[in-house]
Amino acid sequence: MGQVNCRSLCLSLFDYKTEKYVIAKNKKVGLLYRLMQLAILAYLLGWVFLVKKGYQTVDTSIQSSVITKVKGVAFTNTSELKERLWDVADYVIPSQNPNIPGAVCFQDSDCPKGEAIITGNGVKTGNCLMGGSNNSGTCEVFAWCPVEKLAKPKEPLLGQAEDFTVYIKNTIRFPKFNFSKSNVLQTKDRSFLKSCHYSPETLYCPIFRLGTLVHYTGNDFQEMASEGGVIGIQIEWDCDLDRAPSACNPQYSFSRLDNKFAEKSVSSGYNFRFAKYYQDANGVEFRTLMKVYGIRFDVLVNGKAGRFSIIPAVINVGTGVALMGAGAFFCDLVLIYLIKKSHFYRDKKYEEVRLTSQKFLSRRLVNGKQDSGCPGGPEPPEQLQTVET
């Protein structure tokens, strides 16, 4: 017996095993299977390949630079500044009270010399000036005076700035594909930038009218100019490099970023301070402190680029094939466990094969010896089997 099994085991290495397929004439399960195949195919072709471009390798490490310029001229006539002409050098600034918090004192030791006042008025001189209520005083502060006025202007000083223009040049590069592009039209016409203005139809004109920018965010320019505000300009580059470079275009979106809608909030709007210094004939230094309520632009750039690659394409196709197999597995579960006649289909799909008896029908002698059943020897005797189905 052991000799026969040895030979059978050796010969079984060359067997080929295939699955048994049972055709179930069940319209409900058949319809379910076809619907699942159709859904998986639609997902693979529609979403994975057409929408998400799963056949491409993608680069999201965008490199970007942004250059901005503001142009415009305005004339004002106020009681504080008199007649004045404002140009770019005046209103484009890099961003910065009698009751002084943190300066209450009772003696000189409460006013360390050189210590800065947190509110930013100046530094303490070391003297406590008495005269307040509850036998308290105020630390003497070395600072510019008078301190700034707390009143806000009723109307924007530069209401005419609505017609000013903002030039926003953006250059991007995807290093993985060595692909670069700019949002400025590549032309030799020097008058192009002097006459064009941005619109959804002219994506490669980076000249934005200030009033139009505010309008895109759903706000009124005069109101924003009075309180100040922050505008976010988002530039999105979504480039399919399997197509021509002209198909890679910037997409703009505009939003207001400051806390406009928070009632009773001290953080809404946008303002900063700056000063201009000068001396009189006696050498006394003066300064003009300006608190400016203005509009700040935050330019946000992001994007991605994709190009065909065989590796992600094969991976996604393999995923689709695996999903097809999962659909067949689910239909098998429905067929043999969930429908009314599941036991009938289960008996047809699975067969139990059991060895019940085994006899030698003949023996052969080779050179006067019994067959050993090893490779190269005579054929093993046949076996009797019964199959229960």
Tens of pLDDT, residue by residue over 57-82, are 888 888 787 767 676 767 777 777 77
Residue 84's CB: how many other CB atoms inside 10 A? 13
CATH topology of domain 59-95+164-308: atp-gated p2x4 ion channel fold (2.60.490)
Residue 95 in this model has a pLDDT that exceeds 50? no
In the chain, domain spans: 23-55+311-356, 59-95+164-308, 104-143
pLDDT of residue 363: 47
User: Bridge-partner residues for 85, per DSSP?
Assistant: 75
Report residue 161's pLDDT band, with 50, 70 and 90 as the boundaries.
confident
23-55+311-356 against 59-95+164-308: fold identical: no
Give the tens place of pLDDT for each residue, 329-351.
888 888 888 888 888 877 777 76
Starting at the earlier edge strand, list the strands of the sheet with 56-59: 56-59, 295-308, 229-240, 250-256
Question: Pick the residue with more confidence: 320 or 363?
Answer: 320
pLDDT, one tens digit per residue, over 97-129 is 555 677 788 888 888 988 887 666 678 888 998
Residue 389 scores a pLDDT above 60: no
Q: Which CATH class is domain 23-55+311-356?
A: mainly alpha
340: tokens are 């009314």
Rounded distance, CA 273 to CA 286, Å?
16
Please provide the size of the chain in residues: 389
Work out the angle at residue 273's Cα, subtended by the Cα atoms of residues 295 and 156, and round it to the nearest 5 degrees: 45
Question: Hey, what's the torsion of the CAs at 89, 218, 163, 266, to 10 degrees?
Answer: -30
- SS3 of residue 344 by DSSP: helix
Q: What is the overall mean pLDDT for the chain?
A: 78
Query: By the 8 A CB rule, do 128 and 137 touch?
Result: yes
Model confidence at 360: pLDDT above 70: no
Q: What is the mean pLDDT of residues 140-151?
A: 74
- Pure H helices in the chain: 2-12, 27-42, 88-91, 192-195, 210-216, 221-227, 310-333, 342-349
pLDDT at residue number 367: 47
Q: What mean pLDDT comes out for the span 31-36?
A: 89
Most trustworthy range by pLDDT among 12-26, 219-233, 258-272, 360-374: 219-233
Give the whole-number percent of the chain exceeding pLDDT 70: 75
